[in-house]
Amino acid sequence: MSMFPQAKFLTSAAEVRQLPPDRGREIAFAGRSNSGKSTAINAIVERSGLARVSRTPGRTQLINFFELAPERRLVDLPGYGFARVPDHVRHHWLELMQQYFNVRESLVGLVLMVDSRRGLGAEDASMLEWILARDRRAHVLLTKRDKLNRRDADRVLKETRLACADADVGVQLFSAHEGSGVEEAQAVVSDWLSAAPGI
Ligand SMILES: Nc1nc2c(ncn2[C@@H]2O[C@H](COP(=O)(O)OP(=O)(O)OP(=O)(O)O)[C@@H](O)[C@H]2O)c(=O)[nH]1
Ligand SMILES: [Mg+2]
């Protein structure tokens, strides 16, 4: 049985003024296009069709909100790092993200999806800086772990932990396809969301 049996899609926002009421707690999921954000949300919530999984990277330019319980949300942020996106789209993305990170009081932490074959990039590091500058929590999922052998997976885990060593950032391997690391990620989500509603 899912830890979040009441999970459901709440709303999408293309602009900051479309964000749902800023109450309770929410966790943002961010990462490059195709890094596995939507798949990770589905695995953590244990609902395969909740967040849409796309084979066409860069399609989601919306902030998608999922409600796990009253005033408890997961937020699927639009991906970045997609080469063929026009400048005005990239600019809009940057503005939307900075506004979102700046205004959102209910934002308690960021789960950052990083494809384990690529490792942490400059844009990923910026996302971590933004959230840590606001004194919120951060946790990195090294996704698609099933694509790597044991030695390469251990190496990327070690390198990413080292890169995040200055800050209080959790780093773990994750594979939605083989189900590895899902419980660890669920524990982080449930811990960050667990304060009485209304706080
Ligand atoms: N092998 C493997 N593939 C995965 C895993 N997680 C996601 N994928 C694949 O990676 C692709 C992208 O996954 P999404 O979850 O749509 O990624 P996203 O970050 O939400 O992508 P955008 O919303 O387009 O930015 C899909 O083809 C998934 O099936 C995993 O754990 N293992
Ligand atoms: Mg997605």
Which whole number is the average pLDDT over 12-29?
A: 95
Task: Give the number of whichever ligand sits closest to the CA of residue 60.
Answer: 1
pLDDT, tens digit, for every residue of 117-158? 999 999 999 999 999 999 999 999 999 999 999 999 999 999
Return d(Cα 112, Cα 18) in angstroms, integer: 23
pLDDT over 80 at 66, yes or no: yes
Q: What pLDDT score does 141 carry?
A: 98
Centroid of ligand 1 to alpha carbon of 94 (angstroms): 22
Return d(Cα 77, Cα 56) in angstroms, integer: 16
What pTM was estimated for this model as a whole? 0.95
Q: Evaluate: CB of 53 within 6 angstroms of ligand 1.
A: yes
Annotate 15-38 with b (16+ C-beta within 10 A) or e (fewer): eeeebbeeebbbbbbbbbbbbbbb
Q: How many CB atoms lie within 10 A of CB 133?
A: 10
DSSP calls for 15-65: SGGGPPP--SEEEEEEEBTTSSHHHHHHHHHT-TTSSPP-SSTT---SEEE
